[in-house]
Amino acid sequence: MRLRFLYLLILLATLCAQPLAAQKKEMKEADKYFNSFEYALALNAYKKLMENKEPDAYLLERIADSYRLMNNSKEAEFWYAQAASFENVAPASIYYYAEAAKRNGNYDKAKELYTTYARRVPEQANMAMRQAASCDTAIFWTN
């Protein structure tokens, strides 16, 4: 009886481990595309990964980065917003989110994000606050 239970337990553990190994392989492949500057292929691979697993900050950042590097600021802004909901989001993603929002004319959101970036990266605070001020200028000139 115990031997049968042990075999069943080993079989179950093996079956559970296979999808995780496949996801790691798919992530490695997507990262390979991204690092080879093949952003469209990387984007497809990352989105395919989202079908099989709960998205995390890294996956959402990579999708947003792919759109940003393909000069699609609308989609980049959307995906950076998703990534920003995670506490462990990289400060660079906050900056890129602000840049995308600014390009899309969302100056109030961009200003808020530049200010957040300045708080999270004090050594870049001066630059971030200049960018936030440029949003005020853009608001003034567009109204």
What are 2-60's pLDDT values in tens digits? Answer: 656 555 545 455 545 445 445 688 999 999 999 999 999 999 999 999 998 889 999 99
pLDDT at 126: 97
The mean-pLDDT minimum among 15-24, 42-51, 63-72, 108-117 falls in 15-24
Q: How does the average pLDDT of the chain come out, rounded? A: 89
Whether this model's pTM surpasses 0.75: yes
Distances (CA, A) of 77 to 42, 84, 117: 18, 10, 15
Which residues lie closer than 8 Å to 1 by C-beta, 6 or more apart?
none
d(CA 6, CA 10): 6
Exposure of 57 in the CB half-sphere (CA atoms within 13 A) = 11
CB atoms within 10 A of CB 11: 10
- In sign, the C-alpha dihedral spanning 30, 121, 130, 94 is positive
